[in-house]
């Protein structure tokens, strides 16, 4: 056990759990408070919250480990797509979804395309976000076993239940304010680590030279072009299709605040990846990849080598922050998918708000336990697993959401055809393994697009009030919802 690092991590866990307990009563008071923090989050808090939601363990441990293993071009394909997440989402959907007056992504599908589309969307959200828990829990287990001196499985269980506790108790209120702390720790930690590394190597050019001296293939293209392009588009669309990110947009007090928060979050994310490249090059220069049990531990090796004990403990807390800040957002998306979009929308419309939020709390715990069971034997590299989730969501949601917001002629039948077609095509391609890693959305997403368009054109146009609702999405009335 590393005593200093362990004390820092345990104090950190106690702090965020305390925040969850503090917000428990406020969060349980209404669905709006539990799932969207009462639509009252300001720019600064919102910026760190949305940054922390997209900056998962994959952005740090996963990007560094996969880049060191598969080459710098793989890292940059990931990074460029990821940094563009929030601006792309602002351009395509952010303002329109705000004006729709919904709480969740399946809620939008219900409003625009009907109950069947809402139910299918909720199922896809639950499946995707539950699997998305796995790379976060994998990273938590790797860090926990390294710092606490316990075995990997014990660390997965301990830390997994830890971040589930505060998220389940405090809902979006607790998640948003813990994300403020987590985002700040994460960003500061990686910037300090990069500065120390550059200081010891004498600058970026010298660092890259040192890395190439150890591994001349570090800068080479090692994967088929489809892997790079598939990874890029999966992350580019992530802010459009990921419920855990989109729900941050709903939590802001108004559309202008949401846009400002997203743009500041983009700046933070850019700084994170620039620093991540420095950490990755430092890891390659250490020539430790072959000695690691998991390539994703490369980041931890760099921290241990370059930073003094106290700073190393703070940086490991930053890594844990990256994990927890994304995992809690995923848990909330799963919770909303079951409690709000299935239970209240389809099974018990007259359920009280406390019943809905209570069910949401239970769903978070169950989803976390399922994620822990899968993470005990994770199916691959962290970045690859996150790429699968992004590709799946793009294949199922991407074009139905965008066309639903921008094309009044899109019909319920077209949306259902596109969602089901993307779902099935992606699943078949992953199972068959005919394409390079993470290339599945290159085929599955266009299939979904064609089915949405064809299905819409072959069926009667939506009713006039639905088409007018689409026009309302684009009327620039600051946060005037279409549906109450």
Q: Into how many domains does the chain fold? A: 1
The number of beta carbons lying within 10 Å of the beta carbon of residue 195 is: 12
Residue 464 has, within 13 A of its CA and on its CB side, a CA count of 0
Residue 425 is predicted with a pLDDT of 96
The answer to whether the beta carbons of residues 31 and 353 sit under 8 Å apart is yes
Residue 326 is predicted with a pLDDT of 66
Residue 480 is predicted with a pLDDT of 45
Contacts of 479 (CB under 8 A, 6+ apart): 98, 99, 254, 255
pTM value is: 0.75
Residue 18 falls inside a structural domain: yes
Residue 447 is predicted with a pLDDT of 96
Residue 477 falls inside a structural domain: no
Spans of the chain below 50 pLDDT: 478-484
Residue 286, token pair as written in the block = 């250490």
Distance CA 203, CA 205 (A): 6
Tokens 């928060």, located at residue: 261
Residue 403 is predicted with a pLDDT of 94
Residue 408 is predicted with a pLDDT of 94
Residue 44 falls inside a structural domain: yes
The answer to whether the beta carbons of residues 458 and 409 sit under 8 Å apart is no
Residue 24 is predicted with a pLDDT of 57
Residue 399 falls inside a structural domain: no
Residue 196 is predicted with a pLDDT of 93
Residue 407 falls inside a structural domain: no
Tokens 């390294």, located at residue: 146
Kindly tell me the sign of the dihedral angle through the C-alpha atoms of 27, 33, 34, 37.
negative
Residue 170 is predicted with a pLDDT of 57
Which SS3 state, helix, strand or coil, does residue 149 take?
coil
The answer to whether the beta carbons of residues 335 and 360 sit under 8 Å apart is yes
Q: What is the CATH number of the domain that holds 205?
A: 1.20.1730.10
Residue 450 is predicted with a pLDDT of 97
Residue 198 is predicted with a pLDDT of 95
The answer to whether the beta carbons of residues 287 and 267 sit under 8 Å apart is no
pLDDT tens profile 118-142? 888 888 888 887 887 777 788 778 7
Residue 410 falls inside a structural domain: no
Residue 469 falls inside a structural domain: no
Residue 453 falls inside a structural domain: no
Domain that includes residue 139, residue range: 3-103+113-224+244-382
């Amino acid at each position: 056990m590393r005593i200093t690092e362990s004390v820092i991590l345990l104090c950190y866990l106690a702090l965020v759990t305390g925040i969850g307990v503090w917000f428990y009563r406020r969060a349980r008071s209404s669905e709006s408070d539990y799932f969207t923090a009462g639509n009252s989050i300001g720019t600064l808090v919102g910026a760190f919250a949305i940054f922390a939601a997209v900056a998962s363990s994959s952005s740090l441990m996963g990007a560094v480990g996969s880049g060191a293993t598969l080459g710098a071009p793989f890292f940059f394909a990931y990074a460029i797509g990821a940094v563009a997440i929030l601006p792309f989402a602002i351009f395509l959907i952010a303002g329109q979804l705000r004006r729709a007056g919904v709480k969740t992504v399946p809620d939008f599908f219900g409003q625009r395309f009907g109950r069947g589309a809402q139910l299918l969307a909720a199922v896809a959200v639950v499946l995707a976000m539950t699997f998305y828990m796995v790379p976060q829990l994998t990273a938590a287990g790797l860090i926990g076993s390294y710092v606490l001196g316990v075995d990997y499985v014990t660390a997965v269980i301990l830390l997994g239940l830890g971040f589930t506790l505060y998220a389940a108790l405090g809902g979006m209120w607790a998640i948003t304010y813990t994300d403020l702390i987590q985002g700040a720790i994460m960003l500061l930690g990686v910037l300090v680590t990069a500065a120390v590394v550059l200081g010891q190597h004498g600058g970026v050019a010298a660092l890259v030279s040192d890395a190439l001296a150890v591994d001349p293939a570090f800068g080479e293209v090692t994967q088929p072009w489809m892997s790079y392009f598939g990874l890029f588009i999966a992350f580019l669309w992530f802010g459009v299709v990921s419920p855990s990110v989109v729900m941050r947009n709903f939590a802001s007090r108004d559309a202008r605040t949401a846009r400002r928060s997203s743009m500041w979050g983009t700046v933070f994310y850019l700084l994170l990846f620039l620093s991540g490249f420095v950490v990755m090059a430092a890891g390659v220069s250490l020539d430790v990849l072959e000695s690691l049990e998991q390539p994703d531990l490369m980041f931890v090796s760099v921290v241990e080598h370059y930073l003094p004990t106290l700073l190393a403990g703070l940086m490991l807390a930053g890594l844990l922050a990256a994990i927890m800040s994304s995992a809690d957002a995923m848990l909330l998306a799963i919770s909303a998918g079951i409690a709000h979009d299935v239970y209240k929308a389809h099974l018990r419309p007259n359920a009280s708000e406390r019943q809905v939020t209570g069910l949401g709390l239970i769903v978070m715990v169950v989803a976390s336990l399922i994620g822990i069971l899968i993470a005990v034997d994770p199916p691959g590299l962290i970045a690859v697993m996150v790429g699968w989730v992004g590709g799946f969501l793009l294949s199922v949601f991407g074009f139905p959401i965008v066309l639903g917001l921008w094309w009044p002629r899109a019909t319920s039948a077209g949306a259902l055809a596109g969602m089901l077609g993307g779902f099935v095509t992606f699943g078949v391609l992953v199972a068959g393994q005919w394409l390079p890693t993470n290339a599945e959305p290159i085929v599955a997403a266009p299939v979904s697009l064609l089915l949405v368009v064809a299905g819409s054109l072959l069926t009667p146009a939506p009713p006039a009030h639905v088409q007018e609702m689409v026009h309302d999405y684009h009327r620039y009335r600051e946060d005037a919802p279409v549906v109450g």
